[in-house]
Amino acid sequence: MQSKNKHEINPRISTDCVIFGFDFNQLRVLLIERSAVENVPSMMALPGDLIYEEENLDMAASRVLKELTGLEEIYLEQVAAFGDPNRLSKKNDQLWLKSVRQDPDARVITIAYYSLVNLDNYAPQASSFAKAASWILVDEIKELAFDHAEIVSAALKKLKDKIISQPIGFNLLPEKFTLSQLHRLYESILGRDLDKRNFRRKMLKLKLVESLDEKQEGVPHKPSQYFKFNEENYNKLIENGYDNFGF
């Protein structure tokens, strides 16, 4: 780690956050709008910024997320580092950087993080250099700034892998939820249908949810039972090394 020569550089380091949210129907990602500058239309991007001196990477990701979108207290997990020397060199990205950055040609390596939230609990408030922050349907993302589309894909893959092997996903739901909501959540993330009866059977057998004495009201169909997440059983399961949730 100590050799020195002309090739070496001090690149800049940023973090970008891929926050997935679920609106009871579809999976969305929190994106900010990059301001339009001369000849460059505005464009959606992941919330991300450079890290600070005294921060570790996790802290940097949390801070940046809060600064750009107002969201805080979100558990973030690392996706990967993205460091292609050309990751900022698409023409529009370059033009944009030139108009807003002091050192537009500096290489930037980014550490991507992801998380899952119940988007009803988080109303993003754009600030700092973000012009807007909003929840965009994953399926409708077209072009993103820099290599952010690639980062979103990598984060989504990570999320799929994780939800297959571990019963996460309860963070995305409100305190009380119905099994149909949970079912749709899993289908949204995995991008495929899951049999309703088999899904319910599995969930109930694991005892990760317990039914409340409360039903939906005012719906024009049979009201569904509300459930809550049983954190105690979840912790037991994880302690026992259970890592095959099996979807």
Partner DNA sequence: TGTCTTTGTGTCAATTATACACTTTGCGAA
Partner DNA sequence: TTCGCAAAGTGTATAATTGACACAAAGACA
The count of C-alpha atoms lying within 13 angstroms of the C-alpha of 45, restricted to the half-sphere facing its C-beta, is 25
User: Strand order of the sheet with strand 176-177?
Assistant: 176-177, 225-229, 209-215
Contact by Cβ (8 Å): 152, 141: yes
Which does residue 220 bind out of DNA, a second copy, none, counting CB within 5 to 8 angstroms by kind?
A: DNA
Residue 50 binds to a second copy (criterion: CB under 8 A)? yes
d(C-alpha 50, C-alpha 32), whole Å = 16
Residue 215 touches which member of DNA, a second copy, none, C-beta under 5-8 Å by kind: DNA
Minimum distance between the CB of residue 226 and DNA, rounded to whole angstroms? 8
Q: Counting contacts by CB under 8 A, is residue 123 touching a second copy? A: no
Q: Which does 202 bind (CB under 5 to 8 A by kind): a second copy, DNA, none?
A: DNA
Structure-token match 């909501």, residue found: 181
Q: Tell me which of 97, 116, 155, 156 binds a second copy, using CB under 8 A.
A: 97
- Which of a second copy, DNA, none does residue 223 bind (CB under 5 to 8 Å by kind)? DNA
Closest CA to 187 of 201, 175, 169, 205: 169
Number of residues that bind a second copy (CB under 8 A): 47
Decide if 106 contacts 79 (C-beta within 8 A): no
Q: Is 166 in the site for DNA (CB under 7 A)?
A: no
- CA distance readout (Å), 144 to 46, 54, 179, 198: 8, 30, 34, 37
Phi then psi dihedrals of residue 75, to 5 deg: -75, 120
Q: Which of 33, 94, 95, 107 binds a second copy (CB under 8 A)?
A: 107
Considering the complex, state which of residue 1 and residue 219 has its C-beta at the smaller distance from DNA.
219
Binding partner of 201, given a second copy, DNA, none, CB within 5-8 angstroms per partner class: DNA
Task: List residues near DNA by CB under 7 A.
Answer: 178-180, 195-198, 200-202, 215, 217-225, 246
